[in-house]
Amino acid sequence: MDVKECIKGRRSIRKFKDEKIPHGVIDSIVELASFAPSWKNSQTTRYIVIEDKDVIKKIAEDCVLGFGYNTKTMENAAALVLVTTVAGRCGYEKDGTPTTPKGDRWQNFDAGIAAQTFCLAAHEMGVGSVIMGIFDENEVSKVTEIPEGQELNAFIAIGYPDAEPAAPPRRSAAELVTYR
């Protein structure tokens, strides 16, 4: 699959087959995602893969701020990937001072790039994914351990697709770009 095909063909998948994803496949996806660019090559994004259906169910029911659409998606997934970042590195100099007025907000940018790279790599390997951001980080930390010094940025539900949704309409380049 070439890059254009991968970008244009990747969809947010919310219906998955009842089939486990081999760890070797997940490891390959993470290895490719590790090539996502990051602030000063800080590589702070980490992935916690939850496969235990009871833990996924608890997160889906207790941690998504009542957003039932995500509950159904998570409970149907083969695994739930918690995308975290090592805190206090992105956007900072070695002495701990912020490099720009954005401070630590760069870590969210880096996590977003890494999450999208993860999803493109998953698509290339036949694994469906959807990035989700509606959750209560404090509640998630009560259900599963987030390593000390890491912050939760997003969830990615993954599994083998049980449906191939059509592409939603996209804006044209003329609507998206401004030249000055």
Is this structure's pTM higher than 0.95? no
pLDDT digits (tens, 9 = 90+) for 118-129: 999 999 999 999
The identity of residue 126, as a single letter, is G
Q: pLDDT at position 104, please?
A: 73
Domains of the chain: 3-160 (3.40.109.10)
Alpha-carbon span 145 to 135, nearest angstrom: 15
The identity of residue 19, as a single letter, is E
Closest to 68 (Cα-Cα) out of 60, 59, 77: 60
Alpha-carbon span 125 to 161, nearest angstrom: 11
DSSP conformation class of 92: B
Is residue 153 within 8 Å of 38, Cβ to Cβ? no
Alpha-carbon span 21 to 79, nearest angstrom: 8
Q: Per-residue pLDDT averaged across 152-169, rounded?
A: 94
pLDDT digits (tens, 9 = 90+) for 11-48: 999 999 999 999 999 999 999 999 999 988 889 999 99
Place of tokens 């070695």: 94
Q: Is the pLDDT of residue 67 over 80?
A: yes
pLDDT digits (tens, 9 = 90+) for 88-106: 888 888 787 888 888 777 8
